[in-house]
Amino acid sequence: MNLASPLTPSLPSALRLGACVLLAGALWGAAASAQAQGIYTCVDAKGRRITSDRPIVECLDREQHKLGNTGI
């Protein structure tokens, strides 16, 4: 005899749902922290403008500008 209601999720499906919610939260947090780091830009020795999400190796000997998320 099965006493579970058709509206009550079984334990394995509830665990899967909980795992999906945790994974989604972790991914959202990682994306938010990646966006908060800013954008680096500089002009290298050859006159090329370089943009990156981390400090630029080619411009270690010159000024690098760190822009905010909006590009300002």
Per residue in 11-53, pLDDT (tens digit) is 676 667 666 566 566 655 555 554 557 899 999 999 999 999 9
Non-local CB neighbours of 39 within 8 Å, separated by 6+ positions: 51, 52, 53, 66, 67, 68, 69, 71
pLDDT at 42: 95
Query: Which position has the token pair 């990646």?
Result: 34
Number of helices and strands (H, E) in the chain? 1, 3
Give the DSSP H/E element, type plus range, for residue 66: strand 65-67
Residue ranges per structural domain of the chain: 12-67
Q: Is the distance from CB of 34 to CB of 41 less than 8 angstroms?
A: no
pLDDT at 7: 65
Q: For the chain, state the CA radius of gyration.
A: 24
Name the pTM for this structure.
0.45
